[in-house]
């Protein structure tokens, strides 16, 4: 039997971690019509955050409609233990087996990725994609949010204005260096957090420092990315051990469900409907009045006295708007949907990050050993029981960012396009040291190379993409998945940046001094710009950061869907609150921004805005 199977069997001793329950007073009754002040569609990262905050309001009743259930119950242990995040994540192959807690979306053929159809992971559970992600927590740059404010014409979204909401959602626990390796020490600036606010979301560092990442840090320094960069105070260029959303008490996954929802449980004003599939937003004229819902084939209506808040994510928030009559007129009419409000921007402006990488055999132990070596797997389990070891970390350690130097030789037109779109502190590329094999991540079998070697990768991700994709509907029914076009590598500047980042990754590998033999993948023969770009197109992997499909902006912006308070243009009592409303996707990992957006708009609602 494969050693991973033994490991998973052993992990059943940890089943007490999957005992998450929702008290009876917080259960919504499926199949029965009901009325609340606020109805939140989607119990994901932003949805549970805004629902929990609104339930704090005196007298306000809140319903959360979530199409999935508890990930700790429906995918126990696999979704809870950080070190298994990669092993159980959805691969890019459309036939990859997936968990019950994922929507199992497939894209349309991607023209910039050799017409590949990509399986795309999205959380279908309480916690949403915070129950499926790799748990990285950091913030965009100061310029990111100042640009955000500039784009929508509202200084309330500037860095200085949103930083308090970042702080409000989190509690920071320093790294436990008694359990981490001594050469994996961490620098951070505590000024980015305020624990006196008792933010529900736990942020810390794993009780394990990847040996590979200690050398990746050196390699990145060799190309100019200096270590010990704090990633939560408005600066990114440099490298750092990534802070993560992991519970410091037991080293388990932290999500919006284990944080915001858990804190709100016991407040009977909040009702949670599990396996409640939202089919349509209901209106009286142009005023949203409720949501048509289905649970296991039983239909019912949940009405909203004050507002319907859509937090279904960057794919399904625009889909729900469109099937409810809000979106591009021609699209709606082609599917037989009555047009309530013609909003051409619904489903447009899709922004996302993708990554690719270079793999070597290395002379340090990586997570690839756990897959094939029973002794190593058993040792990892033993260590995890003591809240330490490789299973406390989600398969990586150090991440770095840079704006490509002049030596990268970008064309004048590409550099000009990037400089026009992004502020000066916004990096072009993110680098990640990954304890595994970078080869398109088709499925977990990519990692099974039983030759006695350890493998490691350094990946590069474009975090200033100029390419844009789109979401549209396949029919008038939510049951039919949306048509997802990620748009990767459709802008010529992105292709240039990708090739330059690939070459920089090779330079970083040269500075690590841990490689064994020649480059394993793609191999040294891949040495022309054309062959490198072809390899990138064939092996690129989503970083699962879709955003922008219900873009925030003024009503005069033809692509804007919501105003600066998340209210949908042209209708009443309807908001969208999730990554779909980002006017621009922050560099790096947007989890923190999803929490921040929900915190800020919850306060806007409380303030009467």
Q: How far is the CA of 491 from the CAs of 266, 496, 528, in angstroms?
A: 50, 9, 20
Residue 495: its H or E element: helix 492-510
Cβ 280 vs Cβ 335: under 8 Å? no
Nearest to 282 by CA among 263, 257, 310, 256: 310
User: In the structure encoding, which two tokens stand for residue 73, read together?
Assistant: 């119950």
Q: How far is the CA of 416 from the CAs of 413, 429, 603, in angstroms?
A: 5, 16, 38
Binding-site residue numbers for FAD are 45-46, 133-136, 544-545, 590-591
Choice among 138, 208, 353, 545 that is catalytic: 545
| C-alpha to C-alpha distance for 323 and 134, rounded to whole angstroms | 32
The DSSP code sequence of 335-392 is: TT---SEE-TTTT--BB--EEEEEEEEESS--THHHHH-HHHHHHHHHHHHTT-SGGG
User: In the structure encoding, which two tokens stand for residue 542, read together?
Assistant: 């989503």
Q: How far is the CA of 351 from the CAs of 386, 463, 549, in angstroms?
A: 40, 10, 8
Q: Which residue has the tokens 């000009």?
A: 416
Binding-site residue numbers are 45-46, 133-136, 544-545, 590-591
Number of H helices and E strands in the chain, helices first, is 16, 26
Nearest to 494 by CA among 522, 465, 470, 523: 465
| C-alpha to C-alpha distance for 44 and 73, rounded to whole angstroms | 16
Choice among 138, 353, 569, 589 that is catalytic: 589
Residue 542: its H or E element: strand 541-542
> Would residue 589 show up in a list of annotated catalytic residues for this protein?
yes
Nearest to 439 by CA among 524, 502, 355: 355
Residue 113: its H or E element: none
| C-alpha to C-alpha distance for 22 and 604, rounded to whole angstroms | 28
Cβ 361 vs Cβ 371: under 8 Å? no
| 17 CB-contact burial (10 Å; exposed 0-12 / middle 13-18 / buried 19+) | middle
| C-alpha to C-alpha distance for 245 and 201, rounded to whole angstroms | 7
User: In the structure encoding, which two tokens stand for residue 498, read together?
Assistant: 């990708």
Q: Which residue has the tokens 């298994």?
A: 84
User: In the structure encoding, which two tokens stand for residue 437, read together?
Assistant: 């094999």
Nearest to 441 by CA among 529, 504, 350, 357: 357
Cβ 542 vs Cβ 120: under 8 Å? yes
> Would residue 545 show up in a list of annotated catalytic residues for this protein?
yes
| C-alpha to C-alpha distance for 25 and 479, rounded to whole angstroms | 30
Q: What is the CA radius of gyration of the chain?
A: 23
Residues marked as catalytic: 545, 589
């Amino acid at each position: 039997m494969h050693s991973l199977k033994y490991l998973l069997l052993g992990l059943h001793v940890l089943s007490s971690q999957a005992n998450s329950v929702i008290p009876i007073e917080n259960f919504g009754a499926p199949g029965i019509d009901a009325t609340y002040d606020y109805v939140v569609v989607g119990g994901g990262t932003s949805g549970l955050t805004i629902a929990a905050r609104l339930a704090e309001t005196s007298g306000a009743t809140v319903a959360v409609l979530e199409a999935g259930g508890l990930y700790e119950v429906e995918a126990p242990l696999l979704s809870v233990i950080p070190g298994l995040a990669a092993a159980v994540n959805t691969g890019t192959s459309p036939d990859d087996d997936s968990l019950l807690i994922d929507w199992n979306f497939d894209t349309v053929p991607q023209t910039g990725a050799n017409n590949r159809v990509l399986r795309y992971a999205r959380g279908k559970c309480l916690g949403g994609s915070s129950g499926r992600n790799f748990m990285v927590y950091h913030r965009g740059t100061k310029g990111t949010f100042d640009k955000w404010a500039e784009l929508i014409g509202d200084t309330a979204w500037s860095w200085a204005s949103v930083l308090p909401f970042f702080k409000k959602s989190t509690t920071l626990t320093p790294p436990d260096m008694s359990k981490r390796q001594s050469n994996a020490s961490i620098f951070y600036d505590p000024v980015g957090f305020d624990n006196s606010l008792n933010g529900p979301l736990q942020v810390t560092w794993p009780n394990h420092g990847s040996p590979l990442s200690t050398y990746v840090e050196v390699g990145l320094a060799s190309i100019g990315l200096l270590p010990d960069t704090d990633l939560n105070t408005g600066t990114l260029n440099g490298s750092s051990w990534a802070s993560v959303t992991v519970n410091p008490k037991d080293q388990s996954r932290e999500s919006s469900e284990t944080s915001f929802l858990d804190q709100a449980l016991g407040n009977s004003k909040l009702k949670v409907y599990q396996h409640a599939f939202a089919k349509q937003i209901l209106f009286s004229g142009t005023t949203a009045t409720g949501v048509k819902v289905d649970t296991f084939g039983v239909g019912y209506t949940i009405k909203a006295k004050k507002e319907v808040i859509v937090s279904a994510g960057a794919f399904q928030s625009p889909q729900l708007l469109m099937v409810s009559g809000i979106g591009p007129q021609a699209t709606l009419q082609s599917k037989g949907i009555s047009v309530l409000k013609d909003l051409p921007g619904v489903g447009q402006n899709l922004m996302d990050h993708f990554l690719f990488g270079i793999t070597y055999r290395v002379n340090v132990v990586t997570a690839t050993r756990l897959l094939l070596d029973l002794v190593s797997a058993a040792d990892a389990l033993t260590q995890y029981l003591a809240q330490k070891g490789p299973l406390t970390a989600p398969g990586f350690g150090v991440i770095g960012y840079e704006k490509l130097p002049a030596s990268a030789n970008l064309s004048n037109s590409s550099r000009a396009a990037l400089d026009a779109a992004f502020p000066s502190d916004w990096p072009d590329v993110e680098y990640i040291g990954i304890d595994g094999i970078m080869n398109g991540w088709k499925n977990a079998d990519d990692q099974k190379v039983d030759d006695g070697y350890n493998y490691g990768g350094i990946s590069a991700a474009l975090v200033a993409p100029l390419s844009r994709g789109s979401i549209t509907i396949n029919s008038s029914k939510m049951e039919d998945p949306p048509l997802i076009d990620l748009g990767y590598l459709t802008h010529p500047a992105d292709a240039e940046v990708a090739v330059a980042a690939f070459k920089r990754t090779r330079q970083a590998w040269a500075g690590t001094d841990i490689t064994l033999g020649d480059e394993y993948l793609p191999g040294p023969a891949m040495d022309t710009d054309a062959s490198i770009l072809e390899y990138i197109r064939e092996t690129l992997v989503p970083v699962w950061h879709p955003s922008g499909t219900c873009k925030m902006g003024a009503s005069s912006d033809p692509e804007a869907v919501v105003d600066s308070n998340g209210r949908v243009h042209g209708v009443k009592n309807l908001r969208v609150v999730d990554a779909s409303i980002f006017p621009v996707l922050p560099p790096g990992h947007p989890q923190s921004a999803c929490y921040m957006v929900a915190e800020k708009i919850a306060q806007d609602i409380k303030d009467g805005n």
